[in-house]
Amino acid sequence: MRCAIDLESHLLKTAELYAPGRKGADAVSWLLEDYPRLVREIRQLRKRVDQLDQEGAELDSILEELRQIADRIHQL
C-alpha cells in the first residue's frame, strides 16, 4: 500500500544523502524501512560499549592490585 505525503524538499535531499542510489520517495521509503535495523545496531553497540567500560574498570582494578604486589615484592 502506498500513501502520498507532502515533504519539504530539504527532507527529500537529506533522505537521498543517506540512501545511496535512491531518489525522492524511494530514498524516504528506504530510510524508513532501514530505521529499525539501525536502531537495533545502535542498541547493540551501546551494550558492547558498556561491557568494554566494565571490562576496562576490572582491568584497572587488577592492574592496581598487581602494582601493589610488585611494590611489596620490591620492598622485600
**How far is 32 from 30, CA to CA, in rounded Å?**
6
70 is a domain residue: yes
Mean pLDDT computed over every residue of the chain = 94
pLDDT for residue 6 is more than 90:
no
Q: Tell me what pLDDT residue 45 has.
A: 98
Q: 598487581: which residue's cell?
A: 66
pTM for this prediction: 0.67
pLDDT for residue 1 is more than 90:
no
4 is a domain residue: no
Residue of 39, 41, 19, 37 whose CA lies nearest to 28:
19
**How far is 66 from 60, CA to CA, in rounded Å?**
10
C-alpha cell at 16: 537521498
1 is a domain residue: no
Domain that includes residue 70, residue range: 9-75
Are 48 and 56 in contact, with CB atoms under 8 Å apart?
A: no
Quick one: what percent of the chain has pLDDT higher than 90?
Answer: 86
